[in-house]
Amino acid sequence: MNNERYFRDKVAIVTGASSGIGLATATLLAKYHAKVVLAARSVDKLDELCRELSQYTDVISVRTDVSIEADCRNLIEQTVKKFGQIDILINNAGISMRAMFKDLDLSVIHRLMDVNFWGTIYCTKYALPYLLETKGSVVGVISTAGYKGLPGRTGYSASKFAINGFLDTLRSEHLYDGLHVMIYAPGFTASNIRKTALMADGSVQGDTPREEGKMMSSEKVGLIMLNHIRKRSRRATLTFTGKLLLVLTRLFPTITDHMEYWYMACEPDSPFKRRRDIMRERRNHQA
């Protein structure tokens, strides 16, 4: 069965639908003639996207701040009011951060947990009865940071680990109910998540520290996600680097820590020192 046949007339909710992976995935779902519910905070972007995708399918937009429980409840209520059911919930909305924990204002971690973790909890909680009725799919978009903590990303990794644990448990609880639960880890993807990442004081980073053009596109990430939803996969981890990281972590955890530190420290304006700077300081101290 191809994607168009599988997704036709299914009701799919996509959070964080106004940009990046969410936008790409929602667009593909519309082209496959699913009935799409777009959720994000930006009303202008949602309205524009809704007009664009309505040429393919029935689509509605619901302004949603996933960190607010009432917004998530309203999202589910508006979906059921319009379409009568829910077949797919894609918990994609999320934000990142870039700072050392020792320098971090704790409000940043609260914000990361509110959006990434609690947003997934709220939406899944209110959608679950309908997903159980249709034996539908709930997806959590995490990251390789949800399997291996990334230096300079404490709040981000913590929130993604939490989503991983929550969805893994949810799958077990409904093992015999026909519910499909998928944990999706894209790895570094070309999107605006790094531009909107929070710094130590809670301000927005603005410029990405990575070469976005060399990363996997949001469109490809969205397509692979939908392929795995159709196959009802349990987990999917993308990119060679992401898969290699998980293997090395299991086999050589200490070596992997050092490799990861060096890799992340090479970012422009890294919040922690590069390995060569540390070695230089040690040599100077010994001298």
Instruction: Decide: 88 and 11 in contact? Cβ < 8 Å.
Output: yes
Distance from C-alpha of 65 to C-alpha of 71, rounded to nearest angstrom: 6
8 Å CB contact between 265 and 273: yes
Structure token pair of residue 53: 């995708």
Q: Which residues are catalytic?
A: 156
First to last CA, the chain: 68
Please name the residues in contact with 258: beta carbons below 8 A apart, sequence gap of 6 or more: 275
130 and 227 Cβ atoms separated by less than 8 Å = no
Instruction: Report residue 7: phi and psi, to 5°.
Output: -90, -15
The region, left, alpha or beta by phi > 0 then psi within -120 to 50, assigned to residue 10 is beta
Residues 6 or more apart in contact with residue 196 via CB below 8 angstroms: 95, 96, 204, 205
Edge-first strand listing for the sheet containing 11-15: 59-63, 35-40, 11-15, 88-91, 137-141, 180-185, 235-237
* Pick from 59, 166, 173, 168: nearest CA to 119: 166
